[in-house]
Amino acid sequence: MRLYDTLDRELKELRPLDGTTYRFYCCGPTVYGPAHIGNFRTFVLQDVFRRTLETSGTRTFHVRNITDVDDKTIRDSQAAGKSLKDFTGFWTEKFHADCEALGMLPPHVEPGAVDHIPQQIAMIATLVEKGNAYASEDGSVYFNIGSYPAYGKLSRLDTRELELGKTQNERANSDEYEKDSLSDFVLWKGRKPEDGENYWASPWGEGRPGWHLECSAMIQEYLGADFDLHGGGEDLMFPHHENEIAQSKCACGGHFAAHWFHSTHLLVDGGKMSKSKGNFYTLDELKAKGFTAMELRYVLIGAHYRKQLNFTLDSLHGAREAMAKLAKGQRNLAAKVPADVVLSSVDFGPFQAAWEALTDDLNTAGCLGGLFTGLRESVKLEGEDAAKALAAFNRILRALGLTLPEEEPEAEVPAEIRALAEERWAARTAKDWAKADAMRQQLTGLGWNMKDGKESYELSPVS
Ligand code: AMP
Ligand code: ZN
Protein backbone atom coordinates (compact mmCIF):
# COMPACT_ATOMS: atom_id res chain seq x y z
CA MET A 1 0.00 0.00 0.00
CA ARG A 2 1.15 3.54 -0.78
CA LEU A 3 0.32 6.62 1.26
CA TYR A 4 1.31 10.29 1.16
CA ASP A 5 3.69 11.26 3.95
CA THR A 6 3.12 14.83 5.18
CA LEU A 7 6.68 15.13 6.50
CA ASP A 8 8.58 13.86 3.44
CA ARG A 9 5.90 15.19 1.08
CA GLU A 10 5.78 12.16 -1.14
CA LEU A 11 3.92 8.92 -1.64
CA LYS A 12 5.64 6.14 0.26
CA GLU A 13 5.22 2.39 0.30
CA LEU A 14 4.11 1.19 3.73
CA ARG A 15 6.15 -1.58 5.28
CA PRO A 16 6.15 -2.42 9.00
CA LEU A 17 9.44 -1.41 10.62
CA ASP A 18 9.50 -4.68 12.57
CA GLY A 19 8.69 -6.75 9.47
CA THR A 20 5.38 -8.08 10.82
CA THR A 21 3.04 -5.60 12.44
CA TYR A 22 2.23 -2.06 11.31
CA ARG A 23 2.22 -0.04 14.55
CA PHE A 24 0.52 3.33 14.49
CA TYR A 25 -0.81 6.11 16.70
CA CYS A 26 -3.70 8.51 16.21
CA CYS A 27 -4.50 11.48 18.40
CA GLY A 28 -7.87 10.73 19.97
CA PRO A 29 -10.80 12.83 21.12
CA THR A 30 -10.99 15.36 23.92
CA VAL A 31 -13.95 14.03 25.86
CA TYR A 32 -15.92 17.07 27.01
CA GLY A 33 -18.95 16.65 24.74
CA PRO A 34 -20.04 14.53 21.76
CA ALA A 35 -17.54 14.24 18.91
CA HIS A 36 -18.78 16.07 15.80
CA ILE A 37 -18.90 14.78 12.24
CA GLY A 38 -15.60 16.52 11.43
CA ASN A 39 -13.83 14.55 14.17
CA PHE A 40 -15.46 11.45 12.74
CA ARG A 41 -14.20 12.17 9.25
CA THR A 42 -10.67 11.89 10.61
CA PHE A 43 -11.38 8.84 12.79
CA VAL A 44 -13.31 7.00 10.06
CA LEU A 45 -10.52 7.58 7.52
CA GLN A 46 -8.01 6.21 10.03
CA ASP A 47 -10.30 3.20 10.41
CA VAL A 48 -10.41 2.64 6.63
CA PHE A 49 -6.62 2.99 6.56
CA ARG A 50 -6.28 0.25 9.19
CA ARG A 51 -8.85 -2.01 7.54
CA THR A 52 -7.13 -1.65 4.17
CA LEU A 53 -3.80 -2.70 5.65
CA GLU A 54 -5.45 -5.66 7.36
CA THR A 55 -7.30 -6.65 4.19
CA SER A 56 -3.99 -6.63 2.34
CA GLY A 57 -2.67 -9.13 4.90
CA THR A 58 -0.68 -6.83 7.21
CA ARG A 59 -1.18 -7.09 10.95
CA THR A 60 -1.76 -3.79 12.73
CA PHE A 61 -1.36 -2.35 16.20
CA HIS A 62 -3.46 0.76 16.62
CA VAL A 63 -3.11 3.12 19.60
CA ARG A 64 -5.46 6.05 20.08
CA ASN A 65 -5.56 8.14 23.24
CA ILE A 66 -8.38 9.74 25.16
CA THR A 67 -7.71 13.29 26.31
CA ASP A 68 -9.43 13.26 29.68
CA VAL A 69 -7.69 16.20 31.34
CA ASP A 70 -7.16 19.64 29.81
CA ASP A 71 -8.55 23.18 30.17
CA LYS A 72 -11.87 22.28 28.51
CA THR A 73 -12.60 19.02 30.33
CA ILE A 74 -11.86 20.67 33.68
CA ARG A 75 -13.93 23.77 32.89
CA ASP A 76 -16.97 21.83 31.65
CA SER A 77 -16.90 19.15 34.35
CA GLN A 78 -17.07 21.93 36.92
CA ALA A 79 -19.93 23.62 35.08
CA ALA A 80 -21.75 20.26 35.06
CA GLY A 81 -21.12 19.80 38.79
CA LYS A 82 -19.40 16.46 38.20
CA SER A 83 -16.00 15.05 39.05
CA LEU A 84 -13.58 15.09 36.11
CA LYS A 85 -13.57 11.27 36.08
CA ASP A 86 -17.38 10.94 35.95
CA PHE A 87 -17.68 13.69 33.37
CA THR A 88 -15.04 12.39 30.97
CA GLY A 89 -16.19 8.79 31.61
CA PHE A 90 -19.66 9.71 30.38
CA TRP A 91 -18.37 11.35 27.17
CA THR A 92 -15.90 8.53 26.55
CA GLU A 93 -18.78 6.04 26.60
CA LYS A 94 -20.73 8.20 24.20
CA PHE A 95 -17.73 8.36 21.89
CA HIS A 96 -17.42 4.57 21.94
CA ALA A 97 -21.12 4.14 21.16
CA ASP A 98 -20.83 6.51 18.17
CA CYS A 99 -17.68 4.75 16.95
CA GLU A 100 -19.44 1.39 17.08
CA ALA A 101 -22.48 2.72 15.21
CA LEU A 102 -20.12 4.07 12.55
CA GLY A 103 -18.56 0.62 12.13
CA MET A 104 -15.14 1.59 13.50
CA LEU A 105 -12.79 -1.04 14.88
CA PRO A 106 -11.76 -0.24 18.46
CA PRO A 107 -8.04 0.56 18.74
CA HIS A 108 -5.88 -2.18 20.27
CA VAL A 109 -4.94 0.18 23.09
CA GLU A 110 -6.83 3.31 24.13
CA PRO A 111 -4.87 4.99 26.93
CA GLY A 112 -6.21 7.95 28.88
CA ALA A 113 -4.03 10.85 30.04
CA VAL A 114 -5.13 10.69 33.69
CA ASP A 115 -4.02 7.04 33.92
CA HIS A 116 -0.54 7.96 32.70
CA ILE A 117 0.55 10.82 34.96
CA PRO A 118 3.75 9.07 36.20
CA GLN A 119 4.88 8.40 32.61
CA GLN A 120 4.32 12.06 31.75
CA ILE A 121 6.20 13.28 34.81
CA ALA A 122 9.08 10.93 33.95
CA MET A 123 9.29 12.35 30.43
CA ILE A 124 9.35 15.93 31.72
CA ALA A 125 12.09 15.00 34.18
CA THR A 126 14.17 13.59 31.31
CA LEU A 127 13.65 16.76 29.27
CA VAL A 128 14.66 18.97 32.20
CA GLU A 129 17.71 16.81 32.82
CA LYS A 130 18.77 16.99 29.17
CA GLY A 131 18.40 20.77 29.11
CA ASN A 132 15.35 20.87 26.78
CA ALA A 133 12.92 22.07 29.42
CA TYR A 134 12.96 24.54 32.28
CA ALA A 135 10.83 25.23 35.35
CA SER A 136 9.38 28.71 35.68
CA GLU A 137 8.46 30.79 38.69
CA ASP A 138 4.73 29.93 38.44
CA GLY A 139 5.38 26.22 39.06
CA SER A 140 5.00 25.32 35.37
CA VAL A 141 7.60 23.62 33.18
CA TYR A 142 8.18 24.69 29.58
CA PHE A 143 9.84 23.12 26.58
CA ASN A 144 12.51 25.38 25.15
CA ILE A 145 11.97 25.18 21.41
CA GLY A 146 15.32 26.87 20.87
CA SER A 147 16.93 23.69 22.21
CA TYR A 148 15.60 21.65 19.28
CA PRO A 149 16.89 23.16 16.02
CA ALA A 150 14.76 20.87 13.81
CA TYR A 151 11.57 22.31 15.35
CA GLY A 152 8.97 23.04 12.68
CA LYS A 153 9.99 20.67 9.87
CA LEU A 154 6.59 18.99 9.62
CA SER A 155 4.61 22.18 9.13
CA ARG A 156 7.41 23.95 7.22
CA LEU A 157 7.98 26.63 9.78
CA ASP A 158 11.07 27.73 7.88
CA THR A 159 8.85 29.06 5.11
CA ARG A 160 6.30 30.47 7.52
CA GLU A 161 8.74 32.01 9.97
CA LEU A 162 8.31 35.53 8.62
CA GLU A 163 4.59 35.31 9.00
CA LEU A 164 4.75 33.99 12.51
CA GLY A 165 7.57 36.12 13.79
CA LYS A 166 10.02 34.19 15.88
CA THR A 167 9.28 35.07 19.48
CA GLN A 168 11.53 32.67 21.31
CA ASN A 169 10.91 34.07 24.73
CA GLU A 170 7.18 33.84 24.64
CA ARG A 171 5.45 31.02 26.41
CA ALA A 172 2.12 29.35 25.84
CA ASN A 173 0.39 27.96 28.89
CA SER A 174 -2.99 27.27 27.34
CA ASP A 175 -4.04 23.89 25.96
CA GLU A 176 -5.81 25.65 23.13
CA TYR A 177 -4.02 25.84 19.83
CA GLU A 178 -1.67 28.74 19.36
CA LYS A 179 -2.00 28.73 15.60
CA ASP A 180 -0.04 31.78 14.70
CA SER A 181 2.55 32.18 17.34
CA LEU A 182 5.76 30.37 17.89
CA SER A 183 6.51 29.88 21.53
CA ASP A 184 7.93 27.69 24.20
CA PHE A 185 5.08 25.42 25.19
CA VAL A 186 3.95 24.07 28.50
CA LEU A 187 4.78 20.53 29.66
CA TRP A 188 3.57 20.83 33.23
CA LYS A 189 0.98 23.39 34.31
CA GLY A 190 1.39 24.67 37.85
CA ARG A 191 -1.77 24.32 39.94
CA LYS A 192 -4.25 27.19 39.72
CA PRO A 193 -7.32 27.76 41.93
CA GLU A 194 -9.67 27.12 38.98
CA ASP A 195 -8.28 23.59 38.58
CA GLY A 196 -10.28 22.58 41.68
CA GLU A 197 -9.36 19.08 42.77
CA ASN A 198 -7.67 18.22 39.49
CA TYR A 199 -3.97 18.31 40.28
CA TRP A 200 -1.14 15.89 40.96
CA ALA A 201 2.15 16.08 42.85
CA SER A 202 5.35 16.44 40.83
CA PRO A 203 9.01 17.41 41.41
CA TRP A 204 8.00 20.95 40.29
CA GLY A 205 5.04 21.26 42.60
CA GLU A 206 1.37 20.41 42.25
CA GLY A 207 -0.21 20.73 38.84
CA ARG A 208 -1.17 18.74 35.76
CA PRO A 209 0.39 17.75 32.46
CA GLY A 210 0.07 19.97 29.37
CA TRP A 211 -1.99 18.62 26.47
CA HIS A 212 0.84 18.08 23.96
CA LEU A 213 2.76 15.89 26.35
CA GLU A 214 0.27 13.06 26.77
CA CYS A 215 0.64 11.77 23.21
CA SER A 216 4.45 11.65 23.51
CA ALA A 217 4.19 9.78 26.82
CA MET A 218 1.60 7.27 25.51
CA ILE A 219 3.66 6.66 22.40
CA GLN A 220 6.78 6.01 24.45
CA GLU A 221 4.80 3.60 26.65
CA TYR A 222 3.01 1.62 23.92
CA LEU A 223 5.08 2.08 20.75
CA GLY A 224 8.57 3.12 21.83
CA ALA A 225 10.97 5.58 20.21
CA ASP A 226 10.39 4.31 16.65
CA PHE A 227 7.05 3.34 15.16
CA ASP A 228 5.37 3.20 11.77
CA LEU A 229 2.85 6.01 11.49
CA HIS A 230 1.21 8.91 13.28
CA GLY A 231 -2.11 10.39 12.22
CA GLY A 232 -4.55 13.19 12.90
CA GLY A 233 -6.56 15.99 11.32
CA GLU A 234 -4.59 18.67 9.47
CA ASP A 235 -5.18 21.19 12.29
CA LEU A 236 -2.96 19.11 14.58
CA MET A 237 0.13 19.48 12.41
CA PHE A 238 1.06 22.76 14.07
CA PRO A 239 1.73 23.14 16.87
CA HIS A 240 0.54 19.83 18.39
CA HIS A 241 2.50 17.40 16.21
CA GLU A 242 5.54 19.66 16.05
CA ASN A 243 5.53 19.68 19.83
CA GLU A 244 5.13 15.92 20.02
CA ILE A 245 8.12 15.46 17.71
CA ALA A 246 10.27 17.87 19.73
CA GLN A 247 9.37 16.27 23.09
CA SER A 248 9.76 12.69 21.94
CA LYS A 249 12.93 13.08 19.92
CA CYS A 250 14.63 15.01 22.70
CA ALA A 251 13.45 12.68 25.49
CA CYS A 252 13.70 9.28 23.79
CA GLY A 253 16.10 9.67 20.86
CA GLY A 254 14.88 7.56 17.95
CA HIS A 255 13.08 8.72 14.83
CA PHE A 256 9.55 8.91 16.26
CA ALA A 257 6.98 8.28 13.48
CA ALA A 258 8.32 6.96 10.17
CA HIS A 259 5.27 8.32 8.36
CA TRP A 260 2.78 11.17 8.96
CA PHE A 261 -0.84 10.83 7.86
CA HIS A 262 -3.00 13.97 7.97
CA SER A 263 -6.52 14.32 6.68
CA THR A 264 -8.18 17.49 5.49
CA HIS A 265 -10.83 19.18 7.57
CA LEU A 266 -14.49 18.63 6.88
CA LEU A 267 -16.37 21.72 5.76
CA VAL A 268 -20.11 22.11 6.25
CA ASP A 269 -22.19 24.05 3.74
CA GLY A 270 -18.95 25.37 2.30
CA GLY A 271 -17.56 26.77 5.55
CA LYS A 272 -16.38 25.95 9.01
CA MET A 273 -18.78 24.08 11.21
CA SER A 274 -19.94 26.28 14.05
CA LYS A 275 -22.69 26.19 16.65
CA SER A 276 -23.67 29.78 15.91
CA LYS A 277 -24.24 29.03 12.21
CA GLY A 278 -26.44 26.08 13.14
CA ASN A 279 -24.37 23.74 10.97
CA PHE A 280 -22.62 21.90 13.77
CA TYR A 281 -23.64 18.26 13.56
CA THR A 282 -23.23 15.23 15.78
CA LEU A 283 -24.26 11.70 14.88
CA ASP A 284 -27.31 11.95 17.16
CA GLU A 285 -28.49 15.09 15.40
CA LEU A 286 -28.30 13.38 12.03
CA LYS A 287 -30.10 10.31 13.39
CA ALA A 288 -32.85 12.60 14.66
CA LYS A 289 -33.20 13.82 11.07
CA GLY A 290 -33.78 10.23 9.95
CA PHE A 291 -30.32 9.32 8.67
CA THR A 292 -28.26 6.30 9.69
CA ALA A 293 -24.69 6.12 10.94
CA MET A 294 -23.74 4.10 7.84
CA GLU A 295 -25.08 6.82 5.57
CA LEU A 296 -22.81 9.27 7.40
CA ARG A 297 -19.87 6.88 7.05
CA TYR A 298 -20.50 6.68 3.31
CA VAL A 299 -20.46 10.47 3.02
CA LEU A 300 -17.32 10.79 5.13
CA ILE A 301 -15.36 8.41 2.91
CA GLY A 302 -16.86 9.87 -0.25
CA ALA A 303 -13.89 12.18 -0.89
CA HIS A 304 -10.16 11.52 -0.93
CA TYR A 305 -8.62 12.26 2.48
CA ARG A 306 -6.36 14.99 1.05
CA LYS A 307 -9.26 16.73 -0.68
CA GLN A 308 -11.71 19.06 0.91
CA LEU A 309 -15.04 17.41 1.71
CA ASN A 310 -18.05 19.67 1.91
CA PHE A 311 -20.82 18.12 3.96
CA THR A 312 -24.47 18.89 3.23
CA LEU A 313 -27.64 17.14 4.35
CA ASP A 314 -28.27 16.45 0.68
CA SER A 315 -25.13 14.36 0.51
CA LEU A 316 -26.75 11.99 3.03
CA HIS A 317 -29.69 11.47 0.66
CA GLY A 318 -27.16 10.71 -2.06
CA ALA A 319 -25.45 8.20 0.22
CA ARG A 320 -28.76 6.45 0.87
CA GLU A 321 -29.39 6.06 -2.85
CA ALA A 322 -25.85 4.95 -3.58
CA MET A 323 -25.89 2.32 -0.84
CA ALA A 324 -29.26 1.02 -2.01
CA LYS A 325 -27.77 0.60 -5.50
CA LEU A 326 -24.72 -1.20 -4.16
CA ALA A 327 -26.96 -3.45 -2.06
CA LYS A 328 -29.08 -4.27 -5.09
CA GLY A 329 -26.00 -5.15 -7.12
CA GLN A 330 -24.78 -7.31 -4.26
CA ARG A 331 -28.12 -9.16 -4.07
CA ASN A 332 -28.20 -9.71 -7.84
CA LEU A 333 -24.69 -11.13 -7.74
CA ALA A 334 -25.50 -13.32 -4.73
CA ALA A 335 -28.53 -14.72 -6.53
CA LYS A 336 -26.22 -16.15 -9.22
CA VAL A 337 -23.87 -17.92 -6.80
CA PRO A 338 -24.43 -21.70 -6.75
CA ALA A 339 -25.16 -23.05 -3.27
CA ASP A 340 -22.24 -25.50 -3.15
CA VAL A 341 -19.51 -23.34 -4.68
CA VAL A 342 -15.96 -23.71 -3.36
CA LEU A 343 -13.61 -20.99 -4.55
CA SER A 344 -10.43 -22.34 -6.09
CA SER A 345 -8.66 -18.98 -5.99
CA VAL A 346 -9.26 -15.49 -4.73
CA ASP A 347 -8.60 -12.32 -6.67
CA PHE A 348 -10.34 -9.00 -7.03
CA GLY A 349 -11.54 -9.75 -10.58
CA PRO A 350 -13.89 -6.98 -11.75
CA PHE A 351 -13.13 -5.10 -8.51
CA GLN A 352 -9.39 -4.89 -9.13
CA ALA A 353 -9.56 -1.17 -9.92
CA ALA A 354 -11.58 -0.50 -6.75
CA TRP A 355 -8.97 -2.30 -4.67
CA GLU A 356 -6.07 -0.55 -6.39
CA ALA A 357 -7.65 2.83 -5.69
CA LEU A 358 -7.82 2.03 -2.00
CA THR A 359 -4.24 0.85 -1.79
CA ASP A 360 -2.97 3.78 -3.84
CA ASP A 361 -3.00 6.63 -1.30
CA LEU A 362 -6.27 5.52 0.27
CA ASN A 363 -8.42 6.79 -2.58
CA THR A 364 -11.77 6.00 -1.00
CA ALA A 365 -13.70 8.02 -3.58
CA GLY A 366 -12.05 6.11 -6.45
CA CYS A 367 -12.74 2.86 -4.64
CA LEU A 368 -16.47 3.60 -4.32
CA GLY A 369 -16.57 4.46 -8.02
CA GLY A 370 -14.79 1.19 -8.75
CA LEU A 371 -17.43 -0.76 -6.85
CA PHE A 372 -20.15 0.51 -9.17
CA THR A 373 -18.09 -0.20 -12.28
CA GLY A 374 -17.25 -3.67 -10.97
CA LEU A 375 -20.90 -4.45 -10.34
CA ARG A 376 -21.79 -3.43 -13.90
CA GLU A 377 -19.08 -5.73 -15.23
CA SER A 378 -20.28 -8.54 -12.98
CA VAL A 379 -23.74 -8.64 -14.52
CA LYS A 380 -22.54 -11.10 -17.15
CA LEU A 381 -20.79 -13.42 -14.67
CA GLU A 382 -22.18 -16.80 -13.69
CA GLY A 383 -21.31 -19.66 -11.34
CA GLU A 384 -17.86 -19.62 -9.76
CA ASP A 385 -16.99 -16.33 -11.47
CA ALA A 386 -20.00 -14.68 -9.85
CA ALA A 387 -19.01 -16.22 -6.50
CA LYS A 388 -15.47 -14.85 -6.83
CA ALA A 389 -16.73 -11.41 -7.78
CA LEU A 390 -19.10 -11.40 -4.80
CA ALA A 391 -16.27 -12.40 -2.43
CA ALA A 392 -14.11 -9.58 -3.82
CA PHE A 393 -16.94 -7.05 -3.51
CA ASN A 394 -17.57 -8.07 0.10
CA ARG A 395 -13.87 -7.92 0.92
CA ILE A 396 -13.65 -4.33 -0.29
CA LEU A 397 -16.79 -3.42 1.61
CA ARG A 398 -15.13 -4.74 4.78
CA ALA A 399 -12.03 -2.67 4.02
CA LEU A 400 -14.26 0.39 3.71
CA GLY A 401 -16.14 -0.67 6.84
CA LEU A 402 -19.47 -0.33 5.05
CA THR A 403 -22.52 -2.42 5.90
CA LEU A 404 -25.18 -2.19 3.22
CA PRO A 405 -28.93 -2.15 3.91
CA GLU A 406 -30.35 -5.68 3.70
CA GLU A 407 -33.75 -4.82 2.36
CA GLU A 408 -34.63 -2.52 -0.47
CA PRO A 409 -35.31 0.67 1.50
CA GLU A 410 -38.82 1.98 1.17
CA ALA A 411 -38.87 5.27 -0.62
CA GLU A 412 -39.61 8.11 1.73
CA VAL A 413 -43.17 9.22 1.00
CA PRO A 414 -43.86 12.88 1.66
CA ALA A 415 -46.72 13.51 4.08
CA GLU A 416 -48.93 15.25 1.47
CA ILE A 417 -48.61 12.30 -0.95
CA ARG A 418 -49.42 9.89 1.85
CA ALA A 419 -52.53 11.97 2.68
CA LEU A 420 -53.72 11.92 -0.96
CA ALA A 421 -53.14 8.17 -1.12
CA GLU A 422 -55.20 7.66 2.03
CA GLU A 423 -58.00 9.74 0.58
CA ARG A 424 -57.92 7.74 -2.66
CA TRP A 425 -57.85 4.45 -0.75
CA ALA A 426 -60.95 5.57 1.18
CA ALA A 427 -62.72 6.47 -2.10
CA ARG A 428 -61.80 3.09 -3.57
CA THR A 429 -63.05 1.25 -0.49
CA ALA A 430 -66.31 3.21 -0.84
CA LYS A 431 -66.40 2.08 -4.50
CA ASP A 432 -66.22 5.69 -5.74
CA TRP A 433 -64.34 4.59 -8.85
CA ALA A 434 -64.45 7.94 -10.60
CA LYS A 435 -62.74 9.69 -7.70
CA ALA A 436 -60.27 6.83 -7.22
CA ASP A 437 -59.25 6.98 -10.91
CA ALA A 438 -58.92 10.74 -10.92
CA MET A 439 -56.81 10.66 -7.81
CA ARG A 440 -54.56 7.94 -9.21
CA GLN A 441 -53.84 10.26 -12.14
CA GLN A 442 -53.26 13.14 -9.76
CA LEU A 443 -50.70 11.05 -7.84
CA THR A 444 -48.96 9.95 -11.03
CA GLY A 445 -48.74 13.61 -12.03
CA LEU A 446 -47.04 14.27 -8.70
CA GLY A 447 -44.50 11.51 -9.39
CA TRP A 448 -45.99 8.58 -7.45
CA ASN A 449 -47.43 5.26 -8.60
CA MET A 450 -50.10 3.79 -6.38
CA LYS A 451 -50.45 0.03 -6.63
CA ASP A 452 -53.61 -1.40 -5.08
CA GLY A 453 -53.47 -4.63 -3.12
CA LYS A 454 -56.29 -6.54 -1.41
CA GLU A 455 -55.74 -5.15 2.05
CA SER A 456 -53.59 -2.11 1.39
CA TYR A 457 -51.62 -0.22 -1.24
CA GLU A 458 -48.00 0.49 -2.11
CA LEU A 459 -46.49 3.76 -3.26
CA SER A 460 -43.39 3.94 -5.42
CA PRO A 461 -41.74 6.81 -7.27
CA VAL A 462 -42.52 6.98 -11.01
CA SER A 463 -39.29 5.82 -12.64
P1 AMP B 1 -10.20 16.90 19.21
O2 AMP B 1 -11.26 16.10 19.93
O3 AMP B 1 -10.57 18.32 19.02
O4 AMP B 1 -8.84 16.74 19.85
O5 AMP B 1 -10.10 16.32 17.73
C6 AMP B 1 -10.09 14.95 17.42
C7 AMP B 1 -9.65 14.74 15.97
O8 AMP B 1 -10.59 15.34 15.05
C9 AMP B 1 -8.29 15.35 15.60
O10 AMP B 1 -7.58 14.44 14.79
C11 AMP B 1 -8.66 16.61 14.84
O12 AMP B 1 -7.66 16.97 13.94
C13 AMP B 1 -9.89 16.14 14.09
N14 AMP B 1 -10.80 17.23 13.64
C15 AMP B 1 -11.27 18.28 14.34
N16 AMP B 1 -12.11 19.04 13.58
C17 AMP B 1 -12.18 18.45 12.36
C18 AMP B 1 -12.88 18.72 11.12
N19 AMP B 1 -13.71 19.76 10.97
N20 AMP B 1 -12.68 17.87 10.07
C21 AMP B 1 -11.86 16.79 10.19
N22 AMP B 1 -11.19 16.47 11.32
C23 AMP B 1 -11.33 17.28 12.40
ZN1 ZN C 1 -1.46 13.97 19.80
Q: Is 239 in the pocket of ligand 1 (CB under 6 A)?
A: no
Residue 294 has pLDDT above 90, yes or no: yes
Q: What is the pLDDT of residue 198?
A: 98
CA atoms within 13 A on the CB side of 27: 24
Residue 183 has pLDDT above 90, yes or no: no
Mean pLDDT confidence for 285-310: 96
Task: Tell me the residues surrounding ligand 2 (ion) with CB < 5 Å.
Answer: 27, 215
Question: From ligand 1's centre to the CA of 310, what distance in Å?
Answer: 15
pTM confidence score: 0.87
Residue 339 has pLDDT above 80, yes or no: yes
Lowest-confidence segment of 188-192, 429-433, 455-459 by average pLDDT: 455-459
> Which atom of ligand 1 has the smallest separation from the CA of 31?
2
Residue 153 has pLDDT above 70, yes or no: yes
461 versus 179: the higher-pLDDT residue is: 461
Going through 159-299 in order, the beta strands assigned E by DSSP cover 166-172, 182-190, 207-209, 226-227, 229-233, 256-257, 260-263, 266-268
Q: Is 265 in the pocket of ligand 1 (CB under 6 A)?
A: yes
Asked if 181 contacts 172 with a C-beta cutoff of 8 angstroms, the reply is yes
Mean pLDDT confidence for 58-81: 97
Q: What is the pLDDT of residue 29?
A: 97
Question: From ligand 1's centre to the CA of 38, what distance in Å?
Answer: 6
Q: What is the pLDDT of residue 272?
A: 86
Q: What is the pLDDT of residue 460?
A: 85
Residue 180 has pLDDT above 60, yes or no: no
- Rg of the chain on CA atoms, in Å: 27
Residue 57 has pLDDT above 90, yes or no: yes
Q: Is 268 in the pocket of ligand 1 (CB under 6 A)?
A: no
The Cα 149–Cα 161 span in angstroms is: 13
Q: Is 370 in the pocket of ligand 1 (CB under 6 A)?
A: no
> Which atom of ligand 1 has the smallest separation from the CA of 233?
12
**Residue 189 burial by CB count (10 A; 0-12/13-18/19+): exposed, middle or buried?**
buried
Residue 456 has pLDDT above 70, yes or no: yes
Question: From ligand 2's centre to the CA of 311, what distance in Å?
Answer: 25
pLDDT category at 453 given cuts 50, 70, 90 is confident
Residue 461 has pLDDT above 50, yes or no: yes
Please give the full DSSP string across 189-217, using - where no structure is assigned: EE--GGGTT--B--TT-SEEE-HHHHHHH
Q: Is 231 in the pocket of ligand 1 (CB under 6 A)?
A: no
For ligand 1, atom 18, name the residue with the nearest CA.
Answer: 38
Q: Is 259 in the pocket of ligand 1 (CB under 6 A)?
A: no
Q: Is 321 annotated as a binding residue?
A: no
| 3-state SS, residue 127 | helix
> Which atom of ligand 1 has the smallest separation from the CA of 28?
6
pLDDT category at 345 given cuts 50, 70, 90 is confident
Q: What is the pLDDT of residue 316?
A: 96
Question: From ligand 1's centre to the CA of 41, what distance in Å?
Answer: 8
Q: Is 240 annotated as a binding residue?
A: yes
Question: From ligand 2's centre to the CA of 244, what distance in Å?
Answer: 7
| 3-state SS, residue 266 | strand
Signed CA dihedral, 236, 237, 239, 242: sign only:
positive
Q: What is the pLDDT of residue 159?
A: 76
Q: What is the pLDDT of residue 178?
A: 45
Asked if 281 contacts 273 with a C-beta cutoff of 8 angstroms, the reply is yes
The Cα 127–Cα 125 span in angstroms is: 5
Q: Is 42 in the pocket of ligand 1 (CB under 6 A)?
A: yes
Write down the domain spans for the chain: 2-263, 278-400, 415-461
Question: Quick one: which ligand is closest to 235's CA?
Answer: 1
pLDDT category at 21 given cuts 50, 70, 90 is very high
Residue 179 has pLDDT above 50, yes or no: no
Hey, how many other C-beta atoms are within 10 angstroms of the C-beta on 334?
A: 13
- Tens digits of residue pLDDT in 368-421: 999 999 999 999 999 999 999 999 999 999 999 999 998 765 667 888 999 999
* Candidates 3.40.50.620, 1.10.443.10, 3.40.50.1000, 3.40.50.300; CATH matching 2-263: 3.40.50.620
Q: Is 329 in the pocket of ligand 1 (CB under 6 A)?
A: no
Q: Is 29 in the pocket of ligand 1 (CB under 6 A)?
A: yes
> Which atom of ligand 1 has the smallest separation from the CA of 26?
10
193 versus 179: the higher-pLDDT residue is: 193
For ligand 1, atom 14, name the residue with the nearest CA.
Answer: 39
Most distant CA atoms of the chain, gap in Å:
93
Q: What is the pLDDT of residue 53?
A: 98
Residue 223 has pLDDT above 90, yes or no: yes
Q: What's the chain's average pLDDT? A: 93
Residue 99 has pLDDT above 80, yes or no: yes
Q: Is 72 in the pocket of ligand 1 (CB under 6 A)?
A: no
Cα separations in angstroms, 360 against 72, 355, 356, 393: 38, 9, 6, 18
pLDDT category at 168 given cuts 50, 70, 90 is very low
- Tens digits of residue pLDDT in 229-252: 999 999 999 999 999 999 999 999
Q: Is 325 annotated as a binding residue?
A: no
Mean pLDDT confidence for 280-300: 96
Question: Quick one: which ligand is closest to 175's CA?
Answer: 1
Residue 310 has pLDDT above 50, yes or no: yes
